[in-house]
Structure 1
């Protein structure tokens, strides 16, 4: 099953709550690309609302712990240094799903596909 996220255009950007974002991706696999540019960033399999497997574009993988904090969806990966978290604000624009990083760079990524397919890893996650 593939969810099409770009069906009917919306007039403006609509911020999603973390819970709304997790409702869309729970028990599914989301593929992320840069925006603009559409360069593949990676694929995240949401094992549950709190655990993921992140498969980077280079094929390496890590387990992630998902938390919701102050309107953000945050990921803590097992191969990152202690204390490093990746937090994102989800939103819809023109019926397409995006996440905006809350770090200083303000990176934006688009969820280009949500499917039932598991991630493919060339290296097993660390834990």
Structure 2
């Protein structure tokens, strides 16, 4: 019986068993960081996570959007000043950063943390 338990302990749990980060976990990991994300192996965007759940996002084009995030049912939702429609993600902690899975689309969008970046440069915000 002990041998069976030892073997089962080595079997990886399926991805479905992962638990998405809570709002508290997300805030503790993200606050004060500027992170670069990729999707499908291509650069996707950069976001700065300020205190008080404020964010600044850029699609790497020099234009930035200010907004805020909030937790809702183990999802992290973002609302930007110029787009009030919430964008909600399930965010998971991985060995090499975070993985975020977009919830509000028929086509799956998965973002991966690439690295912690230099401060954002925003042409439309005077930096």
Q: TM-score, with normalisation over the residues of structure 1? A: 0.75
Q: Which residue of 2 aligns with 1:103?
A: 104
Q: Which residue of 2 aligns with 1:6?
A: none
- 8 Å CA contact retained: 1:101, 1:107: yes
Matched, 1:18 2:23: yes
**Where in structure 1 are there 5+ consecutive unaligned residues?**
1-10
- 8 Å CA contact retained: 1:18, 1:89: no
Which is helix-richer, 1 or 2?
A: 2
Aligned-residue RMSD, C-alpha = 2.0
Q: Which residue of 1 aligns with 2:3?
A: none
Which of the two has higher C-alpha Rg? Answer: 2
The superposition leaves residues 7-37 of structure 1 with CA deviations (integer Å, 9 ceiling, x where unpaired) of xxxx554332232122111111111110xx2
Q: TM-score, with normalisation over the residues of structure 2? A: 0.75
Q: Which residue of 1 aligns with 2:32?
A: 27
**Where in structure 2 are there 5+ consecutive unaligned residues?**
1-11
Cα displacement (A) at 1:49: 4.3
Aligned match for 2:44, one of 29, 41, 46: 41
Q: Which has the higher contact order (CA 8 A, sep 6+)?
A: 1
